[in-house]
Amino acid sequence: MMARAFPGMRADHGGGAAVSCASAPEGQARVVSLGGGITEIVYALGAGSRLVGVDVSSVYPAETASLAHVGYYRNVPVEGVAALRPALVLASDQSGPDGALEQLRSLGIRVEVLPDQPDLPALQARIEQAARALDCADAGQALVARLQGELSQLSEGGRELPQRALSLVAHTSTLLMAGEGTAAHATLALAGFRNAIPGQQGYKPVTAESMAAAAPDMLVVTEMTVQAQGGMQRMLALPALAATPAVREGRVVVMADDLYLTFGPRLPQAVAQLRQALVRMPADT
């Protein structure tokens, strides 16, 4: 399988030059990031020192723990963000509620809204738009080229197999299947897997009938999902899961939530982990 290229970017097979835009133009030293993937981009650009606040979905890298947290990006507390006196807010286009970002603009705060779709063109746009807003466009182009090179290298020499994989996500007791239009689906595709529920959009609750129809050869679950289900043994004992080929054959991969579901600068790392799992699977499954 060949990884799709970022439009207009040349693959850098040499591993990529280091990127950095740590120095801030006058008046732009205070930044708030609303969205875990956007926060990762700021750090990947070398501008993490400018951040004064992030939303609660921003858990990587570890340095985010020392920053002010302003709630969830889908429910932005305007007063909480404004209290940090940011010169710039970088926000996902999924930020809400309606009107919150306009209220921040009405306070004289610069707000840049970045596309949040889980695909490579949108990832390039997120990186480059964030880099321009931080006044380090060259660093953004270098980061895009580096990611392209890493994804291309991952695809070289890998075997493409027809495994039907299914991603399961749960932050509560409700177990969900990840369909098209999700970061989980896009990452699976880049790693060479076929989603076991083609045509389904977004997340849908798991049922015995849906799992029987999907019959996945592999399950990909996140660490928080395992915790929310009371542990791996209890989760895999659920009748809807226990009857699947994946569970019967022990083909279950556990991924870190912030790595697998972010679709950001660490995308090559997520793809690499899944491809390693693919290579370990028997060729005749």
- Residue 11 pLDDT: 33
Give this prediction's pTM.
0.87
Identity of the amino acid at 193: F
**What number of other Cβ atoms are within 10 A of residue 107's Cβ?**
13
Low-confidence ranges of the chain (pLDDT < 70): 1-20, 22-28, 156-162, 278-285
Topology of domain 31-154, CATH: Rossmann fold (3.40.50)
Coil vs helix vs strand at 100:
helix
At 84, the amino acid letter reads L
In the block, residue with structure tokens 């959009």 = 201
The pLDDT value given to residue 281? 54
Q: Are 96 and 75 in contact (CB under 8 A)?
A: yes
Are 31-154 and 164-280 equal in CATH topology? yes
Is the domain defined by 164-280 classed in CATH 3.90.650.10?
Answer: no
What is Dmax (Cα atoms) for the chain? 61
Contact 274, 193 (CB under 8 A): yes
| C-alpha to C-alpha distances, 48 to 41, 53, 100, 179, 272, nearest whole angstrom | 9, 10, 24, 33, 25
Q: How many Å apart are CA 129 and CA 53, to the nearest integer?
A: 19
Q: Are 131 and 21 in contact (CB under 8 A)?
A: yes
What is the structure's pLDDT at 159? 54
The pLDDT value recorded for residue 204 is 95
The edge-to-edge listing of strands for the beta sheet with 88-92 is: 68-69, 51-54, 31-34, 88-92, 110-114
pLDDT of amino acid 8? 37
Domain boundaries, the chain: 31-154, 164-280
